[in-house]
Protein backbone atom coordinates (compact mmCIF):
# COMPACT_ATOMS: atom_id res chain seq x y z
CA UNK A 1 0.00 0.00 0.00
CA UNK A 2 1.44 3.40 -0.92
CA UNK A 3 2.38 5.79 1.85
CA UNK A 4 0.06 8.61 2.90
CA UNK A 5 2.37 11.09 1.22
CA UNK A 6 2.06 9.16 -1.99
CA UNK A 7 -1.69 9.06 -1.59
CA UNK A 8 -1.75 12.83 -1.54
CA UNK A 9 0.62 13.09 -4.48
CA UNK A 10 -1.66 10.78 -6.42
CA UNK A 11 -4.61 12.81 -5.28
CA UNK A 12 -3.11 15.97 -6.72
CA UNK A 13 -3.06 14.36 -10.13
CA UNK A 14 -6.12 12.16 -10.08
CA UNK A 15 -8.52 14.29 -8.02
CA UNK A 16 -9.58 11.23 -6.07
CA UNK A 17 -8.30 9.17 -3.25
CA UNK A 18 -9.08 6.73 -0.51
CA UNK A 19 -7.20 7.92 2.53
CA UNK A 20 -6.83 5.71 5.58
CA UNK A 21 -6.88 8.23 8.37
CA UNK A 22 -5.45 6.11 11.10
CA UNK A 23 -2.64 3.67 11.16
CA UNK A 24 -3.01 3.09 14.87
CA UNK A 25 -5.39 0.72 16.61
CA UNK A 26 -7.14 3.48 18.52
CA UNK A 27 -10.68 4.28 17.53
CA UNK A 28 -13.20 6.93 18.33
CA UNK A 29 -16.24 6.11 20.38
CA UNK A 30 -18.57 8.48 18.59
CA UNK A 31 -22.10 7.18 18.95
CA UNK A 32 -23.72 8.67 15.88
CA UNK A 33 -22.92 9.21 12.25
CA UNK A 34 -23.64 12.93 12.26
CA UNK A 35 -23.43 15.67 14.80
CA UNK A 36 -22.63 19.35 15.04
CA UNK A 37 -20.94 20.37 18.26
CA UNK A 38 -20.46 23.87 19.52
CA UNK A 39 -17.37 24.39 21.57
CA UNK A 40 -18.24 27.75 23.00
CA UNK A 41 -21.96 28.49 23.30
CA UNK A 42 -22.05 31.98 24.80
CA UNK A 43 -18.55 31.45 26.07
CA UNK A 44 -19.10 28.62 28.52
CA UNK A 45 -19.65 24.88 28.42
CA UNK A 46 -19.74 22.73 25.33
CA UNK A 47 -23.04 21.59 23.91
CA UNK A 48 -23.92 19.08 21.26
CA UNK A 49 -26.90 18.88 18.95
CA UNK A 50 -27.73 15.37 17.83
CA UNK A 51 -28.95 15.39 14.28
CA UNK A 52 -29.25 11.74 13.43
CA UNK A 53 -28.70 9.38 16.30
CA UNK A 54 -28.11 5.78 15.35
CA UNK A 55 -25.89 2.96 16.38
CA UNK A 56 -22.77 3.05 18.50
CA UNK A 57 -19.66 2.33 16.47
CA UNK A 58 -16.12 1.32 17.18
CA UNK A 59 -15.05 1.69 13.57
CA UNK A 60 -11.79 3.19 12.41
CA UNK A 61 -12.48 6.25 10.26
CA UNK A 62 -11.34 6.20 6.68
CA UNK A 63 -11.79 9.27 4.55
CA UNK A 64 -13.14 8.92 1.06
CA UNK A 65 -12.42 12.12 -0.81
CA UNK A 66 -13.41 13.31 -4.28
CA UNK A 67 -12.77 16.65 -5.93
CA UNK A 68 -15.47 17.37 -8.50
CA UNK A 69 -15.53 20.20 -11.03
CA UNK A 70 -18.24 22.39 -12.59
CA UNK A 71 -16.80 23.90 -15.72
CA UNK A 72 -19.01 26.97 -16.30
CA UNK A 73 -18.20 28.62 -12.98
CA UNK A 74 -14.94 26.67 -12.48
CA UNK A 75 -16.26 25.55 -9.11
CA UNK A 76 -14.93 22.64 -7.11
CA UNK A 77 -17.40 20.54 -5.17
CA UNK A 78 -15.90 18.23 -2.58
CA UNK A 79 -17.31 14.93 -1.42
CA UNK A 80 -16.07 13.57 1.90
CA UNK A 81 -17.24 10.42 3.63
CA UNK A 82 -16.22 8.17 6.49
CA UNK A 83 -16.22 4.80 4.76
CA UNK A 84 -14.89 3.13 7.89
CA UNK A 85 -18.29 3.79 9.50
CA UNK A 86 -21.07 1.26 8.85
CA UNK A 87 -23.38 3.97 7.50
CA UNK A 88 -20.73 5.60 5.29
CA UNK A 89 -21.95 9.11 6.18
CA UNK A 90 -20.98 11.74 3.62
CA UNK A 91 -21.09 15.47 3.05
CA UNK A 92 -20.89 17.65 -0.03
CA UNK A 93 -19.12 21.00 0.07
CA UNK A 94 -20.17 23.75 -2.32
CA UNK A 95 -22.38 21.73 -4.67
CA UNK A 96 -23.55 23.48 -7.87
CA UNK A 97 -27.14 23.18 -9.14
CA UNK A 98 -25.99 22.19 -12.65
CA UNK A 99 -23.98 19.23 -11.40
CA UNK A 100 -26.22 18.12 -8.54
CA UNK A 101 -27.45 15.05 -10.43
CA UNK A 102 -23.88 13.97 -11.18
CA UNK A 103 -22.95 14.33 -7.53
CA UNK A 104 -25.98 12.40 -6.30
CA UNK A 105 -25.36 9.59 -8.81
CA UNK A 106 -21.79 9.28 -7.54
CA UNK A 107 -23.00 9.17 -3.94
CA UNK A 108 -25.47 6.41 -4.79
CA UNK A 109 -22.87 4.46 -6.81
CA UNK A 110 -20.47 4.54 -3.90
CA UNK A 111 -23.14 3.46 -1.42
CA UNK A 112 -22.72 6.57 0.72
CA UNK A 113 -25.31 8.20 2.95
CA UNK A 114 -25.34 11.93 2.29
CA UNK A 115 -26.12 13.79 5.49
CA UNK A 116 -24.97 17.37 4.81
CA UNK A 117 -24.94 19.68 1.79
CA UNK A 118 -22.77 22.60 2.87
CA UNK A 119 -21.55 25.92 1.56
CA UNK A 120 -18.46 27.93 2.42
CA UNK A 121 -20.37 31.15 1.65
CA UNK A 122 -23.19 32.72 -0.36
CA UNK A 123 -21.79 32.38 -3.86
CA UNK A 124 -22.21 35.12 -6.44
CA UNK A 125 -21.13 33.18 -9.52
CA UNK A 126 -23.35 30.11 -9.46
CA UNK A 127 -26.50 28.79 -7.81
CA UNK A 128 -25.79 26.31 -5.06
CA UNK A 129 -27.01 22.75 -5.55
CA UNK A 130 -28.05 22.50 -1.92
CA UNK A 131 -31.77 23.15 -2.40
CA UNK A 132 -32.01 20.76 -5.34
CA UNK A 133 -30.16 18.05 -3.45
CA UNK A 134 -32.50 18.41 -0.50
CA UNK A 135 -35.54 17.88 -2.72
CA UNK A 136 -33.97 14.89 -4.48
CA UNK A 137 -32.51 13.25 -1.40
CA UNK A 138 -34.82 13.85 1.57
CA UNK A 139 -33.09 13.82 4.92
CA UNK A 140 -30.05 15.77 3.74
CA UNK A 141 -29.49 18.87 5.86
CA UNK A 142 -28.12 22.15 4.56
CA UNK A 143 -25.30 23.89 6.42
CA UNK A 144 -23.89 27.41 6.07
CA UNK A 145 -22.45 30.01 8.44
CA UNK A 146 -24.70 32.08 10.65
CA UNK A 147 -22.83 35.20 9.52
CA UNK A 148 -23.89 34.57 5.90
CA UNK A 149 -27.52 35.30 6.92
CA UNK A 150 -28.63 32.61 4.47
CA UNK A 151 -31.33 30.08 5.23
CA UNK A 152 -30.20 26.58 6.12
CA UNK A 153 -31.13 23.70 8.37
CA UNK A 154 -28.01 24.31 10.45
CA UNK A 155 -26.05 27.52 10.78
CA UNK A 156 -22.53 27.16 12.12
CA UNK A 157 -20.11 29.48 13.82
CA UNK A 158 -16.39 29.71 14.35
CA UNK A 159 -15.20 26.80 16.47
CA UNK A 160 -18.10 24.46 15.69
CA UNK A 161 -17.33 20.90 14.68
CA UNK A 162 -19.30 19.08 12.02
CA UNK A 163 -19.07 15.34 12.58
CA UNK A 164 -19.66 12.70 9.92
CA UNK A 165 -19.08 9.24 11.29
CA UNK A 166 -15.85 9.39 13.26
CA UNK A 167 -14.40 12.22 11.20
CA UNK A 168 -15.12 15.89 11.64
CA UNK A 169 -14.61 19.30 10.09
CA UNK A 170 -13.75 22.32 12.17
CA UNK A 171 -15.37 25.65 11.25
CA UNK A 172 -13.07 28.66 10.98
CA UNK A 173 -14.54 32.09 10.29
CA UNK A 174 -12.62 33.60 7.37
CA UNK A 175 -14.58 36.73 6.36
CA UNK A 176 -13.29 39.22 3.83
CA UNK A 177 -14.45 37.88 0.46
CA UNK A 178 -17.93 37.97 1.98
CA UNK A 179 -18.96 38.65 5.54
CA UNK A 180 -20.09 35.07 6.05
CA UNK A 181 -17.17 33.11 4.56
CA UNK A 182 -15.92 30.13 6.52
CA UNK A 183 -13.13 27.63 5.96
CA UNK A 184 -13.82 24.02 6.87
CA UNK A 185 -10.73 22.19 8.13
CA UNK A 186 -10.44 18.45 8.75
CA UNK A 187 -10.01 17.62 12.41
CA UNK A 188 -6.89 17.33 14.44
CA UNK A 189 -6.08 14.03 16.08
CA UNK A 190 -4.71 10.54 15.51
CA UNK A 191 -7.90 9.33 13.82
CA UNK A 192 -8.25 12.36 11.55
CA UNK A 193 -6.65 12.84 8.10
CA UNK A 194 -3.02 13.76 7.97
CA UNK A 195 -2.01 16.12 6.52
CA UNK A 196 -5.03 18.20 7.39
CA UNK A 197 -7.20 19.54 4.59
CA UNK A 198 -8.59 23.09 4.45
CA UNK A 199 -11.59 23.87 2.25
CA UNK A 200 -11.08 27.58 1.90
CA UNK A 201 -13.96 28.62 -0.34
CA UNK A 202 -12.97 31.92 -1.97
CA UNK A 203 -10.98 33.21 1.01
CA UNK A 204 -7.79 31.65 -0.31
CA UNK A 205 -7.42 30.42 -3.89
CA UNK A 206 -4.33 28.76 -5.34
CA UNK A 207 -1.97 31.70 -5.97
CA UNK A 208 -4.88 34.09 -5.47
CA UNK A 209 -7.90 34.99 -3.37
CA UNK A 210 -11.52 35.97 -3.80
CA UNK A 211 -12.45 39.56 -4.64
CA UNK A 212 -13.44 41.86 -1.81
CA UNK A 213 -15.55 44.49 -3.53
CA UNK A 214 -19.10 43.28 -2.85
CA UNK A 215 -21.25 41.19 -0.42
CA UNK A 216 -19.72 42.82 2.64
CA UNK A 217 -16.20 42.17 1.39
CA UNK A 218 -13.19 43.77 3.05
CA UNK A 219 -9.53 43.53 2.04
CA UNK A 220 -8.45 44.23 5.60
CA UNK A 221 -10.65 41.44 6.93
CA UNK A 222 -9.58 38.97 4.24
CA UNK A 223 -5.90 39.60 4.92
CA UNK A 224 -6.42 39.07 8.65
CA UNK A 225 -8.56 35.97 8.09
CA UNK A 226 -6.05 34.24 5.84
CA UNK A 227 -3.08 35.03 8.06
CA UNK A 228 -4.73 34.20 11.39
CA UNK A 229 -6.92 31.24 10.40
CA UNK A 230 -5.35 29.57 7.36
CA UNK A 231 -1.65 30.41 7.42
CA UNK A 232 -1.67 29.46 11.12
CA UNK A 233 -2.39 25.84 10.17
CA UNK A 234 0.49 23.37 9.75
CA UNK A 235 2.42 24.08 6.57
CA UNK A 236 1.61 20.70 5.07
CA UNK A 237 -2.14 21.38 5.32
CA UNK A 238 -3.68 20.85 1.90
CA UNK A 239 -5.57 23.81 0.45
CA UNK A 240 -8.69 22.97 -1.51
CA UNK A 241 -10.33 26.15 -2.85
CA UNK A 242 -13.85 26.66 -4.21
CA UNK A 243 -12.55 27.61 -7.65
CA UNK A 244 -9.61 27.41 -9.97
CA UNK A 245 -9.36 29.05 -13.36
CA UNK A 246 -5.94 27.75 -14.40
CA UNK A 247 -6.27 24.02 -13.83
CA UNK A 248 -4.67 23.81 -10.41
CA UNK A 249 -6.35 21.39 -8.04
CA UNK A 250 -4.60 21.63 -4.68
CA UNK A 251 -1.92 23.60 -2.86
CA UNK A 252 -0.55 23.69 0.68
CA UNK A 253 -0.38 26.32 3.39
CA UNK A 254 3.42 26.37 3.10
CA UNK A 255 3.27 26.83 -0.66
CA UNK A 256 0.80 29.71 -0.49
CA UNK A 257 2.76 31.41 2.32
CA UNK A 258 5.69 31.65 -0.08
CA UNK A 259 4.13 31.82 -3.52
CA UNK A 260 0.75 33.54 -3.25
CA UNK A 261 1.30 36.78 -5.18
CA UNK A 262 -1.17 38.74 -3.05
CA UNK A 263 -1.08 37.31 0.45
CA UNK A 264 2.69 37.23 0.77
CA UNK A 265 2.65 41.05 0.63
CA UNK A 266 2.14 43.35 3.62
CA UNK A 267 -1.44 44.36 4.31
CA UNK A 268 -1.14 47.80 2.77
CA UNK A 269 0.17 46.43 -0.51
CA UNK A 270 -2.48 43.70 -0.46
CA UNK A 271 -5.24 46.27 0.00
CA UNK A 272 -3.89 48.33 -2.85
CA UNK A 273 -3.74 45.26 -5.14
CA UNK A 274 -7.35 44.39 -4.30
CA UNK A 275 -8.49 47.97 -4.82
CA UNK A 276 -7.03 48.09 -8.30
CA UNK A 277 -8.24 44.77 -9.70
CA UNK A 278 -10.91 46.53 -11.80
CA UNK A 279 -12.99 43.38 -12.09
CA UNK A 280 -16.22 43.27 -14.07
CA UNK A 281 -19.57 43.05 -12.30
CA UNK A 282 -20.21 39.30 -11.82
CA UNK A 283 -22.56 37.97 -14.51
CA UNK A 284 -24.54 35.73 -12.20
CA UNK A 285 -24.65 37.85 -9.06
CA UNK A 286 -28.19 39.17 -9.41
CA UNK A 287 -29.56 35.65 -9.83
CA UNK A 288 -27.15 33.69 -7.69
CA UNK A 289 -27.04 35.73 -4.50
CA UNK A 290 -30.82 35.93 -3.88
CA UNK A 291 -31.13 32.23 -4.75
CA UNK A 292 -28.25 31.20 -2.55
CA UNK A 293 -29.59 33.18 0.40
CA UNK A 294 -32.53 30.77 0.16
CA UNK A 295 -30.41 27.66 -0.24
CA UNK A 296 -30.62 27.69 -4.04
CA UNK A 297 -34.39 27.76 -4.36
CA UNK A 298 -34.55 30.60 -6.84
CA UNK A 299 -38.16 30.23 -8.03
CA UNK A 300 -39.60 28.09 -5.31
CA UNK A 301 -42.76 28.36 -3.30
CA UNK A 302 -42.71 29.86 0.19
CA UNK A 303 -43.19 26.30 1.52
CA UNK A 304 -40.10 25.08 -0.26
CA UNK A 305 -38.10 28.06 0.93
CA UNK A 306 -39.21 27.41 4.47
CA UNK A 307 -37.78 23.91 4.31
CA UNK A 308 -34.49 25.00 2.80
Pick the closer one to Fe ion by CB: 86 or 216: 216
Query: What is the number of residues in the chain?
Result: 308
Q: How far is the CB of 239 from Fe ion (least distance, A)?
A: 16
Closest CB to Fe ion among 84 and 217? Answer: 217
Three-class SS of 109-128:
HCCCEEEEEECCCCCCCCCE
Which range of residues in 80-88, 107-115, 121-129, 219-227 is near Fe ion by CB under 5 A?
121-129
Q: Which is nearer to Fe ion, 187 or 282 (CB)?
A: 282
Q: How far is CA 214 from CA 31, 105, 173, 288, 293, in A?
A: 42, 35, 18, 13, 15
82 binds Fe ion (CB under 5 A): no
Percent composition of the chain: helix, strand, coil (DSSP 3-state, to 5):
25, 25, 45
If one asks whether residue 202 binds Fe ion (CB under 5 A), the answer comes out as yes
Peptide bond preceding 195: is omega within 30 degrees of 0, i.e. cis? yes
Which residue sits closest to Fe ion, CB atoms considered?
A: 202
Selected range binding Fe ion among 13-21, 38-46, 155-163, 202-210, rule: CB under 5 A: 202-210
- At closest approach, how far in Å is the CB of 173 from Fe ion? 15
Stretch that binds Fe ion, among 68-76, 77-85, 93-101, 194-202 (CB under 5 A): 194-202
| Interacting span for Fe ion (CB under 5 A) from 19-27, 44-52, 196-204, 270-278 | 196-204
Residues 180/167, Cβ–Cβ less than 8 Å: no
Here's the x/- map for Fe ion, 268-287, by CB under 5 A: it reads as --------------------
Rounded least distance, CB 285 to Fe ion, Å: 10
Q: What is the dihedral of CA 268, 233, 67, 241, to 10 degrees?
A: -10
Nearest to Fe ion of 63, 209 (CB atom): 209
Burial of 296 (0-12, 13-18, 19+ CB in 10 A): buried
**Measuring CA to CA, which residue among 199, 71, 175, 204 is closest to residue 126?**
71
Q: Which stretch binds Fe ion (CB under 5 A): 47-55, 158-166, 195-203, 287-295?
A: 195-203
CB 254 within 8 A of CB 235: yes
Nearest distance in Å: CB 210, Fe ion: 5
Instruction: Note whether 100 and 77 are within 8 A (CB).
Output: no
- Cβ proximity to Fe ion, 81 vs 204, nearer residue: 204
- Residue closer to Fe ion by CB (options 107, 239) is 239
How many residues of this chain interact with Fe ion, rule: CB under 5 A?
A: 2
70 lies in the site for Fe ion, by CB under 5 A? no
Q: Which is nearer to Fe ion, 242 or 253 (CB)?
A: 242
d(CA 213, CA 276): 10
Q: Give me the residues that bind Fe ion (CB under 5 A), please.
A: 123, 202
Amino acid sequence: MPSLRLHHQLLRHCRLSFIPTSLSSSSSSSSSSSLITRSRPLGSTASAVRLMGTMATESTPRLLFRQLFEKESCTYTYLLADVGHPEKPALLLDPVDKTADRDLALIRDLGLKLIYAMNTHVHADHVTGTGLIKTKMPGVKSVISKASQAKADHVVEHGDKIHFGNLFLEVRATPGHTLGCVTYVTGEGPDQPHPRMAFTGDALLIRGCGRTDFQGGSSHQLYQSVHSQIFALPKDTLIYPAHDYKGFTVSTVGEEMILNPRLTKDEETFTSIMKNLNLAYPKMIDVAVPANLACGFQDSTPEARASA
